[in-house]
Structure 1
Amino acid sequence: MSKERTKGRAEHDAVELAFLQKVSERLPEDIEILQALADLYTKNGKFQEGLAIDEKLSHQLPNDDLVWYNLGCSYSLTHRADDAFEALTKAVELGYCDYDWMKTDPDLNNLHADPRFESLLSWLYTACEEDE
């Protein structure tokens, strides 16, 4: 990506982030706004901010597998492996079944060296095969 394009993208993200922050102040319980804000924080390397929102979402949507998956990613990005595995396990228990994405998701790179990651992938693969 060219330098100008990278700068333009960063400026766009900064404007979008400021906008979503303002909207979330007015609508602090709006799930879609919170999810978009958490995603944008993560894309911009603001992992602690994204984690705080993902934790809030896990309380608001305790049975949503994708919310728990994203929480696991946020924990991984903030080097909280035990919490990441706990959240990812909950995601699978709730029905998360995207084996290929979990295996390659760069947000989970911090977990790859941990033997629990391969165990989790094996369990996910088996659980999803049974559901088909």
Structure 2
Amino acid sequence: MLLAVLETRCGVKLSGMDVYLNVAGGLKVAEPAADLAVAAALISAATGMPTSAGEVYFGEVGLSGEVRQVSQADARLKEAAKLGFDKAVLPRRIARGSARTKPPEGLTLREIGHVADLVTADMEAD
């Protein structure tokens, strides 16, 4: 589903490619919050623009490309900061709707509403 969304909604051409995704330790991913991280990895591979080692991504990606809220955002941010990440890319609604007024110390937030925002940011970095 993510491949189709990236191609139709974001213009990332993946249809002529073999796509393989490696998850650490063979972990089975059933968590919808992993969608945004997988999309970022696919965009990175297709565009040749690497993601930063200090970034963490979480959010569910819908069929139209919107990035949806996921549960326990504050706990995810706290854990990301504890693990040494310095930037979190997350759904816009979570960042604005959370009870937390500021992110954990050392962690900056980047809010996105659509998965195409990842592609746009990569193109602007050129």
TM-score (norm 2): 0.38
Relative CO higher for 1 or 2, CA cutoff 8 Å, sep ≥ 6?
2
More strand by share: 2
Higher-Rg member (1/2): 1
Higher share of residues assigned helix: 1
